[in-house]
Structures are given as structure tokens and as C-alpha cells.
Amino acid sequence: MTGAKDRMREKKMKNQPRNVIYTSSGRGTGRGQGSQACGWVRGHQHGGHSYSQDLPKYITASSFAKARAAEVNAMLKAVSKPAGSCHIFTALPKHMRRRALSHSTKRLPSRLREGAQRLAERSQRAPEKEKKQEPRSRSRRARRRHGNLLLEFNRRQRKNKWLETHIWHAKRFHMLKTWSYCLPLKPTAKSFRASYRAMNTHALLQVTLAYMCFMFVIFSEKSVTYLHLLYKADQFPEGSLGPADFLWRPRVPDASDRQLWIWIHPALKQDVLSELQLVCQCFEAVSVSEESRPAVELPAGRKRKRDEADAEQPSKRLLGDGTRPAGAPVRWQSPDTAITISDLTMEIVRYRLIGPLAHVVLTDTLQPASEEPRSRSTDEAGVSVHQQQTDIFHLLRGVCSTAELPAGCVLGLTVDDPRLTLPQKRGKSVPDLQQSAEDSGVRDLTLKGVAAHCSQSALWDASARDCVTHNRLSEQELNRRRTELLVPGSRLSAAPQAAVPLLLVHQGGRVRGEERLHWGSGWDLLLPKGWGMAFWVPLVYRGVRVGGLHMSVKHSQFMGQPHFPHDYPDCPAGVRFQSEQEAELLQKFKRRPPSKRTNYIKHGCLAPFRCPWQQLTEEWEELVNLSAETTGGCRTGPFTVLRSLKALRRLSAWSRPSSRRSSSALTHATAAALQQECGPSLVWVRLRLLGKGQPALHAMVCVPTTSDLQLLLKDAHSSGPEEPRHKDHLKRLRQNTTGPEDPARAVRGVCPAPLPSVLPHCSRLTLGWVTQGDFSLAAGCGEALAFISVSGLLHTILQQPQEQRGLILLRNPSSLQYRFARISIDV
Amino acid sequence: MVRFKSRYLLCEVCVPDRSSLQLLEDRTIYNTLRAAVNRAHGDYGSALFNIGVIVKYLNAHTGVVLIRSRKKHYRLIWSALSFITCLENRGQKVQCFLNCLHVGGTIRTCQKFLVKYNRQQLHRMLPACKTDAEKQEVRRAILSCSLSNVREEEADEDGSDDDGDEET
């Protein structure tokens, strides 16, 4: 019962007497009707006879009489005062009162009607006033009126934050709600191949969804080295948290602080912030925002770029600071080390353009500011920085492909509002090949990259950002100015205060491995808050294709890089992601009718939804130790992912077929040495199928037997061995128990929870599982990215003949056919 | 529109020894009554009891009990009342019998009857008093529940909208 109902009832029943009983603690009120019968209480107290602890042995007539009298009084009170009545009801004579009067006032004569209505309203409102503070929600129509839409949107954003371009995406994309953001997943139109072509030849645009949370660290000169040490990682190699992007602010003269921006994935935020806080000892929250002072000058341009280049590679170790529950930036300061950390989620908008013609799109869309907003520092030659940046920007057009520029260079720029030069129709930007006349300048650019001081931008200043966000022209204003133009269609004049500071960061493409180097390079565009849509629409009008989360996963896959939550099984965020994915896949599986599901037990697939990495590594350790009979104890810690370059290079060399290099030749001893060094770990490999086959998610990577390899030798196009069908032992159980079985216990077709030994379950030993597998449009055959146990890999390679090293078998969870594939570890 | 009609049985618990009334509770009455109905009318009776029977009011000082039941089945409940010989409360058995004073259609009619009945009882008690002090008490009690008193109370209540416990 709600409180209102109770209150109404009490109001009605306040005259009714309650149960009168004896209790040992004095006055007893039983479960009766209504609140106090006051006369009753007082009567007895005045009678002077207190019914306290001991019950009286004799009840005399006087007390009995008193009791009777009191009861009479109570009854009279109850009778004479009708419940919940107002004078309306008593004003009517008895023969005109009707039962329906209490709820419909129309049955009253008109002279009494208004009074009754007023009373009814008052009695309705009285208990409600204290209950409902919020206004009653308006009708749907009122809520959807244009002016009120903002309220509606804010209400909807409470649970999952919206990006700036949310509405644009929502009309064209399927959205996904994860990590407390509402992100575009994939376009509603079928565009997988088109997006791939765009990434390959033209340009693809994405809101960089992976790196949205954003830390900002200022610290003074003396603690620079301190912070560098931290990045060497506390608990290497076990305590990995996830990848991050670092961006250092270029040093500017007459400043003593440096600033660092750290971009991390939103799933990491919680872990990261607490770590960073712990490490930098920044616990005091400072609510007053301070002016950020620019950093000390750096003499050589080279160092800056190297910093960038190092920093731009996603570092696998991140000491994170936890994140706050979003919203306004908050700074933490540490008293002794003078480091300040502030959380600037959603303060900067970041767009990623991928593809060889990304720079052309940028040069089309952006126009450097015609007048300089504030004269910034000039360098020795007296040429202002802005002019230099503009020159470099113009040089960009002459570059043939984005991949030509060295990775990690940063260009700061101040541009005009791109909406001013919005084309009337959508078109496709094409490269301008005439500008290769300025050969020397272009060549300089491609070889050396951008000079250090040209990477400055006002974007680093919080005050400048706020100012620019504030001065943004609204769409309405812009349209009004367009109508006022004398010649329709000409360029609008720019407002000087609205020159937007930007950062253009170059992202290198594929850097590891030997094929298709620099594929997938692009530019990142960093903008201040509020300018998201203003830049998005002009970019789209230049003919880029827009991709979502799905496309970014594919992008990482084609580049051969691990994509953050999917391919990091050792980070806590990765583990969380895996359990979520498992739940999702299991749900999907359960939705299908039982006879139409793949019976994974019969296919011998133990882990179609979730890969038990820990179990795999432990079992391999056991197996290897058993076979080698070494007394060196197998390390059974939590598994890690092998990331040290040295070890990876060696493994990569060993898994190739014929290497005549004598250095680090593969022998049992060297293999054992490497294994000891690494401990129970997994390695990230790329598998390419030799012939037919399309790997699926969680396909099994298995060790081929010698007979399999001979089969391949005999016939290079053989399709590979087949797995005999397993028996479904649960089926018999199901048939025996005819009653309704506990659904949580066993899902038909999936192995129940405590998995049996993973390795020897199928006819070939399991090495690992595929995390991303697909037909690769770039390679023209099936490719998969998988994690493999290091000990297993070494064990396998040792047993294979020289020419056929690195061959393994791959089997999809819903098939019995093994396919041959070749391992390559990209370094 | 069909109403649910109920009947209210106004009963009095008669005990030889007044003092043993003290441990009376509505749950006691309810359980005893249920057992009695079960004994007298079997499963059918217990099912009917379950639906509509509830003890609405209980006064342990005077032994007045108001039981509500459905109109269709009140005779059944009424008949089982006479089979109650003892009330049991926390291990103490009290010999008693339930005397039904009045059957009313609403609580208000039962309350009105109770007023009349109590007044009658008080009037009857007066000549039966032995000591003078007792007589005084009884007279005072009678006076206190006279109509004039009540009307004064009413006027006060309507005017000041207060609890109105100045006069008792």
C-alpha cells in the first residue's frame, strides 16, 4: 500500500476506536481501525488507574463501570462523526444522501457542488503535496515540442552519454549502448565492402570511439623523470591494464610546466584513474580550475617527435587513474610532486580519418584562419607560428598518400569555421596532383615530419577552449547570415573570434609484419567541445564514408593490431568484456529452438562462447613439463600475454618455415630457456589459411600430427583431416530425467560449466582460440587473429620438420573439418 | 453495482472471573473461533471462515468483541460461537462463553447498539453496588457518558478542529 492510501484511510478512520487490550507494557493498540481514540486514553489516565506492569487481580465494579463508560464515549464519537465527511454531507438531509456522493460530485444539488469539488480537490491534494515534488509529466505532444526537446534529450542521456554527433548517427546507424556511452555500431545500409574500399583507396571517417576518456596531467619540470619511470610499469608483465595514447604538449618558452594528455578506452576508466592517483599521490581534489601554463622550451625538434612517436604507439602498460562519474572536470593535486591530474572526458572531440586520401579531405574541409586571432609566440625568423602552420598545411596537399608521412607527427592549426565553406552538394574530394611542383617542401615534410613548434595549438589551454566553445555561431545564426548575403552561395565572412584551434595527429597504419605496411594510416582531428557537428557535416560532404564500432574492429583486424577490449584477455577490462560477450552469445544461442542449435558437444567444442585461457596455459605447462621431465616447477600464476619485443622476434623467426640463420636456432634448450623466461603466457598470432575456409569467432587452433603434415606434402590442396563426431553424454541424462530439468544447469548443446581437460578433448591438441576471424578482403583468403599458448607453440614447432614449420590446423566450432593454416607473428 | 454485504456480530465474552479476561487478544478469539467452526462444520466451514471472517474490535476490559463475516455465512459462524468453551492464550486456558448481543449490518449500527447496551448495564449496576464509593464512581461514569457531554464535545471539535479531549 502506498503512503497516500494509508493516509487517506487514517483520515477517514480517525474517529473509530481501536482495540483495547492489556499488554504488559501499558497501553496497547491492536490492529484496529484508525488512529487515536483520544477520549479513551485520557479517560483512563484521569481515572488514576494505570495499567502498568502487573495486571490487577481484582477488577472492581468501579473500574468496570469506567471501562464501560469510556467505551460508550468512544462509540459515540465514532458514530456521531461520519468518516471523511465535510459539512457538505451533513448539510444534505438524510433522505437525499446517496452512496455515490463521495466519489462523484455531480449527484449533489448545484448549490453544494462547488464546495464539494473544492473539498474533494483539497483532500486529494493534501497528501500528494508532500509526496510529489516533481511536476506531473506533460503530455507526449508537449514534451516533443521543439523547445522542450533538449530536456527530453538530457533525460535520456542520464544513463548512457551521447556523443556530439549522436543525432546524426542515430538516423543512419544501429546504435549500441556500452561502457555508459551510446555508440554507433554499424550503418543501417549494407556497406561492409564499400567501407573497406574507402579504407583502402579513399577515406573513412569515424568518431574515435576507442579513445574517449581523457586525462590531463600537468607537472613541473623536476618531476618529468619521475613520471617516465612510472610508465615502465609496476608489475610487468602481469599488471597490464590496457592500451593508451599519450600526447605531450610541445614545450613553449617561458613556461615551467608540461602537460600530457592520456587517451584511454572508456572501459578502462575505473581502473586507470585509481592507479594513477595512487602512483602520483594525487588525492586532493581541487575544484577551482587553474590556468594551465605552457611548458618549457625544447631545443631540438627531433626529441619532440620522438616523444610523440614513442608515445603515439599504444602503450600496453597503463597505470590508470580511476574515473569519476563523468561530468565536470575535476582536478587532483598532489602536494609534494606538483602533479595535477584532471579528468577531461568529452572536453575534446576526436575524429579519425582513415585512408590514403584522408589528408586531401582535410585540406578541402579546413581553411586556416585568415587573420590571426591572438599573436602567439614567434620563432627566431620572426615568422609567426600560425603562418608556418599554414604553410605546412598547404604542403599537405602535395603529398600523394597519407601513409607517406612519418607516423606520429602532430600539426597544430587554427582554422575558420568549416560551415562557412560548406559546398552546396556532396562531392568526393580528389587529390590535387599539380602541387607536386613544390617538390622540396613536400619531400621535407614526408621525410622529417612536422617541426616541433608547429605542433602548438591553443587547444591545450582550457580557457581558450572555453572561449571558442562559447563563441560558436549557432546554426540558426549562420542560416540567417546566409539569407542576408547579397550574392547567394558566396562565402560567408568569418568572425575573428571564432577561429577554432585544432590538433591534427597523424596515425601510422600497420607497422608490424611485412605485408601491406602503412595500410590504414590516417589523421586524427582534435577539436574543442561543442564544435563536433560543425566539423562533422562538412567532412561528410566531402565524400568520406562513415564507419562505426564494427568498422574500427575490422580496421584493427586488417592492420593486425589487437583491438582494445576484444583482444586483451589479461586486462581486467578485457576479462569483463569477455564475460559480457559470453553472456550475449549464450543468450543468442538460447533463443534458437533447441533442435536448430548447433550441438557443440557433438562437435567437440568445449568453449564456443568463452575461452578458458587460464586452463589452457596451465594444461600446456603441465604437458610440457611432463614431456621434458624437467624439475623446474611449472609456473602456475595468472596467465599473461607475451609482449616483449625480443621474445616476439625470436618466436617469429622460429615459426617461419626455413630459416638458415644460425643465430638463435631452435633447439630444445633455447626453447626451454624462452619458455622459462616467459612463464605461462599467450602470444598474439596471425593465421592465414592455405586454402579454403573462413575462420569464425572462437575457432580452435590445433596441433597437426605428422600424418597430417605428410598429407599436405602429398597434396598441396588437400582440405585437411576431419574430426570424428563426439558423443553427447548429456543426451542420455536428458532422456532419463523426463521431468522439467533445471534450466540453469545445462543448456542443451553446450558443455556444462566445470570444463573437462581442454587439451586432449579433440583428436588434435588445442593450442588456442581465435578472437577475430574473417575472410580478409585485403589478403584474399581467410585470416584469423588468435591467442596461442607459448609453450604449446614451442612444443609444436620443435616437432615439425624445417620446411613445414609454422603450420597448424584450424577448426570452426560448428564444423568438424580441420583446415591448414600458417602462423605468423608480426613484429 | 453489486455490494459486498457483511454482518457484524457483537459478542460479549462472559467469564466467571473477571480478572482472567486480561490476556485477551484478537488473535486468540480468531483462532478459537476458527477451531470451533472447523469442529462444527468441517472443511466447508473452515473454508468459509477463511474468506470473510475477521475480528474488527476487541475491548479486553469489558469483553466486547465485534466479528465481521459475510452475509451469506454469518449464521454458520454464529452457530459455532456456542461451541466455544474456553479461550486459550499463551498456555493459559480461560473458561468462558461467547454471548452474542447483536447482529448488525454495519459497524455503525453495532456501535450504536453498544452505546445503548452499555448505558443499560451502567444503570443496572447502580443499585447493585455495595459500597458508597463504588456508587459514586458508577454515578460519575454514567454522567460522563451522557448525551450532553457528548454534544459539548462535538461542538468543540467542529469549532477548533482539535482533538477535543478537554472534557472527559
Alpha-carbon gap: A103 to the closest alpha carbon of chain B (Å) = 14
Digit-coded pLDDT (tens) for A294-320 = 222 222 233 333 333 333 322 222 222
B97 within domain boundaries: yes
B81 within domain boundaries: yes
Size of interface A-B (CB pairs under 8 A): 128
Output the pLDDT for position A132: 52
Distance between CA atoms of residues A239 and A317, nearest Å? 8
Digit-coded pLDDT (tens) for A619-664 = 888 888 877 665 455 556 777 888 788 888 888 888 887 655 545 5
Q: Which of A11, A36, A72 to mutate to test the interface with B (most CBs of B within 10 A)?
A: A72
Output the pLDDT for position A30: 35
CB contact under 8 A, B59 and A43: no
Which of the given ranges, A389-403, A585-599, B18-32, has the highest pLDDT on average?
Answer: A585-599
Candidate from B25, B108, B144 with C-beta closest to A69: B144
B18 within domain boundaries: yes
B168 within domain boundaries: no
Residue A79 touches partner B, C-beta closer than 8 Å: yes
B72 within domain boundaries: yes
Output the pLDDT for position A77: 79
Candidate from A30, A61, A78 with C-beta closest to B138: A61
Distance between CA atoms of residues B138 and A66, nearest Å? 7
Digit-coded pLDDT (tens) for A255-295 = 556 677 777 777 777 777 777 777 666 666 554 332 222 22
Share of chain A above pLDDT 70, in %: 70
Distance between CA atoms of residues A772 and A211, nearest Å? 21
Q: Which domain holds residue B149?
A: 6-157
Grid coordinates given for A781: 583468403
Output the pLDDT for position B9: 92
Output the pLDDT for position A279: 66
Digit-coded pLDDT (tens) for B47-71 = 999 988 999 888 888 888 899 999 9
pLDDT at A166 exceeding the cut of 80:
yes
B167 within domain boundaries: no
CB contact under 8 A, B163 and A38: yes
CB contact under 8 A, B168 and A42: yes
Digit-coded pLDDT (tens) for A426-442 = 888 777 666 555 667 77
pLDDT at A128 exceeding the cut of 60:
no
Tell me how many degrees the CA angle A27-A29-A30 measures, rounded to the nearest 5.
Answer: 140
pTM value surpassing 0.90: no
More confident residue, A771 or A55: A771
Q: Residue B106 is part of a domain; what is its CATH number?
A: 3.30.70.3250
B129 within domain boundaries: yes
CB contact under 8 A, B59 and A19: yes
Share of chain A above pLDDT 90, in %: 7
Residue A64 touches partner B, C-beta closer than 8 Å: yes
Distance between CA atoms of residues A514 and A518, nearest Å? 10
Digit-coded pLDDT (tens) for A569-599 = 877 788 888 999 999 999 999 998 888 888 8
CB contact under 8 A, A39 and B108: no
Candidate from A42, A60, A65 with C-beta closest to B141: A65
CB contact under 8 A, A72 and B154: no
Residue A14 touches partner B, C-beta closer than 8 Å: no
pLDDT at A731 exceeding the cut of 70:
yes
Q: Which of B2, B89, B144, B156 to mutate to test the interface with A (most CBs of A within 10 A)?
A: B144
CB contact under 8 A, A19 and B57: yes
* B39-46, long-range: CB < 8 A, 24+ apart: B39/B80, B39/B83, B40/B79, B40/B80, B40/B83, B41/B76, B41/B80, B45/B76, B45/B80
Output the pLDDT for position B40: 92
Alpha-carbon gap: A148 to the closest alpha carbon of chain B (Å) = 45
The confidence band for A235, taking pLDDT boundaries of 50, 70 and 90, is: very low
Output the pLDDT for position A180: 83
pLDDT at A227 exceeding the cut of 50:
no
* Number of alpha carbons in the 13 Å side-chain half-sphere of residue A98: 10
Residue A56 touches partner B, C-beta closer than 8 Å: yes
Output the pLDDT for position A584: 92
Residue range A601-607: mean pLDDT, rounded: 86
Distance between CA atoms of residues A104 and A746, nearest Å? 58
Residue A430 touches partner B, C-beta closer than 8 Å: no
More confident residue, A157 or B37: B37
CB contact under 8 A, B118 and A76: no
B1 within domain boundaries: no
Which of the given ranges, A164-178, A327-341, A432-446, has the highest pLDDT on average?
Answer: A164-178
Which of the given ranges, A104-108, A310-314, A753-757, B80-84, has the highest pLDDT on average?
Answer: B80-84
Digit-coded pLDDT (tens) for A671-726 = 788 877 777 888 989 999 988 889 999 999 999 988 888 888 888 888 888 888 88
pLDDT at A488 exceeding the cut of 80:
no
CB contact under 8 A, A67 and B59: yes
Minimum Cα–Cα distance from B136: chain A residue: A62
Minimum Cα–Cα distance from B1: chain A residue: A100
Output the pLDDT for position A510: 76
DSSP structure class, residue B2: P
Minimum Cα–Cα distance from B133: chain A residue: A62
Alpha-carbon gap: B42 to the closest alpha carbon of chain A (Å) = 28
Digit-coded pLDDT (tens) for A550-571 = 888 888 888 888 887 788 887 7
Output the pLDDT for position A223: 35
More confident residue, B21 or A404: A404
User: Mean of the per-residue pLDDT values for chain A?
Assistant: 73
Q: Give the total number of structural domains in chain B.
A: 1
Strands A339-343 and A213-220, by their bridges, are: antiparallel
Grid coordinates given for A818: 580441420
Output the pLDDT for position B148: 57
Alpha-carbon gap: A89 to the closest alpha carbon of chain B (Å) = 14
Output the pLDDT for position A296: 23
Q: Which residues of B touch A41 (CB under 8 A)?
A: 165
Output the pLDDT for position A468: 85
Q: Which of A12, A18, A76 to mutate to test the interface with B (most CBs of B within 10 A)?
A: A76
Beta strands in A89-212 (DSSP E): 161-162, 173-178, 181-187, 204-207
Distance between CA atoms of residues A174 and A189, nearest Å? 10
Q: Which of A234, A185, A220, A176 is nearest to A206 (CA)?
A: A185
Q: Cell numbers 453544494 correspond to what residue?
A: A112
Candidate from B60, B107, B137 with C-beta closest to A65: B137
